[in-house]
Chain A
Amino acid sequence: MSERLVEIGVGAFVALGLAALLVLALQVSGLTELRQPPGYEVTATFDNVGGLREKAPVSMAGVHVGRVESIALDPETHQARVTLRIERGYDSIPADSTAAIYTSGLLGEQYVGIEPGWEQATLAAGDRFTETQSAVVLERLIGQFMTQMQD
């Protein structure tokens, strides 16, 4: 086989391998989302975030509007302070909206759902959700159920 063909073959092989790595990085792991999408950050304080994790989706009426940026413990109130990054284009969320932590399906991952309020004023960068609803902790729910049963 001529040298040229060998070189073309190797070149095609290496190019294909690198392209496969690129596919893995971009399409499979969604690296494009690592680049911060334009948007703004708002915070919400919860008594309990349950199993919520960073990068969990934020949705409104079931539509994906952003992601959880960070979760930290407030050292004074001992509550969880969750920073949400809302994508650009969703900048008309009423200021009195409620942020709640839900579970998708029975065993699915937890996400933040926003229930819209009625105010004309909208949330802007750095604002805080006034109304929040913590994650439902199953053990606590069962505990309450048990104590009610005993009454």
Chain B
Amino acid sequence: MTGRLQALGRATLDGLQALGGAVLLLGRLLRGATVVLVRPRLLVEQVYAVGTLSLVIIAVSALFVGMVLGLQGYYTLVDFGADDSVGTLVALSLVRELGPVVTALLFAGRAGSSLTAEIGLMKATEQLSSMEMMAVDPERRILAPRFAAALVAVPLLAAVFSAVGVIGGYLVAVGMLGIDGGAFWSNMQSAVDVTPDILNGVIKSVAFGFVAGWIALYMGYTAEPTAQGVSRATTQGVVRTSLAVLGLDFLLTALMFD
């Protein structure tokens, strides 16, 4: 009984410690992020690693997601004679939800995991401690530019995702199912607005980039400096980022579209 109580208490304290550590790290990351103003080179390298190299997977996924949305939307809407609205369905789903969310999930798998593994390995091979010995602050030199890069890359990737997805939906709806192209665009344009829909999608993707970068870096920075520890941290980083993104998406949607 006492043992179980102790374990519960320890687990609670560990959880609180992790949360506190993550928040403190976030504060240092935000303060350290000014390094990108002094040395923009660091940011450019990281944007290339997490953004440019993620473009292909984002664009291909988006094309297929858009095509599936077009097909499924058509099959459902055609029963009500509303198959002209398939453009509206595709665009609203992508811009409001799927664009930011799926981008963030893919980003966690493609870029977040590599961030965690990279930082974890740097720690395991004592590169970070040797930097500290040379009076170089690894949080400022290594972590902060990666955090800034995630913050820059995810909104751009989400925009690419939504745009490519709409094109995918167009290819299926107009090219394959024979919906009138004019009706496809005009219904979409009358239903989608810049201020609630697209802007909220962008705000969401900024929030997701923030969370994805933060969790990936925290997991790598606190990983146990062993091969096992790094692999566990990488897996947990992806899982936690995915859960955080989905939960945060519900919160943001509830706040934005009431």
Contacts and interface: CB of A to CB of B under 8 A. Distances in A.
Interface of A: 6-7, 9-10, 12-14, 16-21, 23-25, 27-31, 33-34, 55, 57, 105-108
B188 interface: yes
8 contacts: A13-B153, A14-B47, A14-B152, A25-B194, A27-B166, A29-B192, A30-B189, A30-B192
Interface residues of B, number: 36
A91 to B, nearest CB: 23
A34 B189 CA distance: 11
B197 A29 contact: yes
Contacts of A30: 185-186, 188-190, 192
The 9 closest A-B pairs by CB, nearest first: A17-B156, A30-B189, A20-B163, A20-B159, A9-B52, A13-B52, A29-B192, A20-B160, A21-B159
Q: B interface, by DSSP: helix, strand, loop or mixed?
A: helix
Nearest to A56: B190
Contacts of A10: 44, 47-48, 51-52
Contact of A28 (B44, B91, B153): B91
Q: A interface, by DSSP: helix, strand, loop or mixed?
A: helix
B198 A24 contact: yes
Given A21-B202, A23-B163, A29 B189 contact: yes
A107 B44 CA distance: 51
Given A6-B48, A18-B156, A30-B189, A24 B82 contact: no
B45 interface: yes
B82 A107 contact: yes
B101 interface: no
B189 A7 contact: no
Contacts of B53: 9
Contacts of A23: 163, 166
Nearest to A9: B52
Interface in B59-94: 80-82, 91
Which among B55, B189, B201 has the greatest number of chain A C-beta atoms within 10 A?
Answer: B189
A7 B41 CA distance: 9
Contacts of A29: 189, 192-194, 197-198
A107 B80 contact: yes
Contacts of A21: 156, 159, 163, 198, 202
Given A7-B44, A24-B198, A17 B52 contact: no
Contacts of B162: 20, 24, 28
A27 B52 contact: no
B164 A105 contact: no
Contact of A24 (B48, B81, B95, B186): B95
Given A20-B162, A23-B163, A28 B95 contact: yes
B174 interface: no
